[in-house]
Amino acid sequence: MAKEQKFYKALQDVFIGAKIEGTGGFINLMRIKSRYYRKIEELLKVNCKQIIQITNSIN
């Protein structure tokens, strides 16, 4: 597994945690949190790639 994949996997584990199944208010909140993380993860990946490109162009 590449360093980048390990980073995002660790971030996901910290943010989302273990998968939860069932019904109820808490479960719904965890599902919302999971969807939110997926959106933020995509933005984070784009921003990281842009920063790497800028850094490489400076050097």
Higher local confidence (pLDDT), 51 or 21: 51
Cα angle 21, 34, 32; round to 5: 85
Residue 27's pLDDT is 87
What is the average per-residue pLDDT within 13-22? 82
Residue that has been written with the tokens 């996997």 in this structure: 9
* Token pair 């989302």 in the structure block, residue: 16
Helix axes 3-15, 25-58, angle to 10 degrees: 150
pTM for this structure?
Answer: 0.64
Please state the domain extents for the chain: 28-59
| Statement: residue 55 has pLDDT above 80 | yes
What residues contact 45, with CB distance under 8 A and at least 6 apart? 8
User: For all residues of the chain together, what is the average pLDDT?
Assistant: 88
Residue 16 predicted with pLDDT over 70? yes
Amino acid 18: pLDDT = 76
Pick the closest to residue 52 from 2, 4, 10, 5 (CA basis). 4
